[in-house]
Amino acid sequence: MGRPRAFDEDEVVRAAVTLFAGRAYDSVSVDDLVSHLGVHRNSLYKVFGSKRGLYLAALQHYLSQELTAAELDLLLLAMAERAPVDAEVATLVDAALRDLDKALGGPAATATLLGERLRARATP
């Protein structure tokens, strides 16, 4: 019943990952999301509750996959600017970092990887 959705929820989340990985959370407006994601304002709020809800969904989807070195940007931004002011983000980030520690063989390797990617992002 009801009118069928004209958008793919997973596709929306993946596009949101790309947007949020590119610039700071506050620099990505709901207008940006609506116009780049192919989802309407109303549906965004219906499905994700808020801009923050979509951000959290995007972050979770992103952190649930294998992180390659080239795709650390959303994690970097989440660590630098969101985790300090959003406890839920901090929790997600912490879990992802522990996984990285295991995959890489220890926190030292994680720190080096993050530091290198952060620098590559800042000074291309």
Partner DNA sequence: AGGGTTAAGGAACACTCGTTCTTGACTGAT
Partner DNA sequence: ATCAGTCAAGAACGAGTGTTCCTTAACCCT
Per CB under 7 A, residues contacting DNA are 1-7, 26, 28-32, 39-43, 45-46, 50-52
List the x/- string, 49-88, binding to its own copies by CB under 8 A.
---------------------------xxxxxx-xxx---
Shortest distance, position 7 Cβ to its own copies, whole Å: 27
Q: State which residue, 25 or 45, has the beta carbon closest to its own copies.
A: 25
C-alpha closest to that of 58 among 19, 90, 114, 100 = 19
The rounded radius of gyration (Å) of the Cα atoms in the chain is 16
**Contact by Cβ (8 Å): 35, 28:** no
Q: What residue type is 20 in one-letter code?
A: F
Q: What whole-number distance in Å separates Cα of residue 97 and Cα of residue 7? A: 32
For residue 41, what are its two tokens? Answer: 């304002």
Residues in contact with its own copies by CB under 8 A are 22-27, 76-81, 83-85, 90, 93-94, 97, 107-108, 110-116, 118-119, 121-124
